[in-house]
Amino acid sequence: MPAVIRDKEDSESSSEDGQEDHPCIAWSGLSKTIPVLLFVPEAVVSKDGDICSVGERYHMAFKIVRTESRLVRGILTNHGFHEVHPNSNDFNLMWTGSHLKPYILRSLQDFQKVNHFPRYNIWLRYTSVLPLFSVI
């Protein structure tokens, strides 16, 4: 899947006040060439075609590995993303329920993103022990 990059002609033809051409895309960077997708929670209950068109327009895909995230799957599907097989390498976003092996992280392309939260278990242990040792 190719990364979405705005051409110079597109950035010059866009409105001068910085309005994006789609409500779910914000352009960032020095010359407004880096797209950032904005996910709206209303997409879960709304059937707005304008929200759904962002994933369909850029052929965005996701895969969910070793977890069952119905809410994440619903939000991505309602934004026009399509789900690929967990063994597929043709995706833009990977949602995983466990840590990834280093060789998998090294094999990712620049446009592929992962929900990786290192050291998250330490925070969970800290918050569960904190009430036991807090000073009153």
| For range 60-76, the mean pLDDT | 90
Instruction: Sketch the domain layout of the chain as residue ranges.
Output: 8-125
Q: What is the pLDDT of residues 108-135, one digit of tens each?
A: 999 999 986 655 666 677 777 777 776 6
What does each C-alpha distance from 53 to 8, 47, 79, 129 come to in angstroms? 23, 11, 7, 45
pLDDT of residue 61 exceeding 90:
yes
Q: What is the pLDDT of residues 13-35, one digit of tens each?
A: 444 444 447 788 888 999 988 88
Please give the model's pTM, rounded to 2 decimal places. Answer: 0.68
Give all strands of the β-sheet with 113-114 in edge-to-edge order: 82-83, 61-65, 93-96, 113-114
Of 117 and 46, the structure prediction assigns the larger pLDDT to 46
Q: Which pLDDT belongs to residue 3?
A: 54
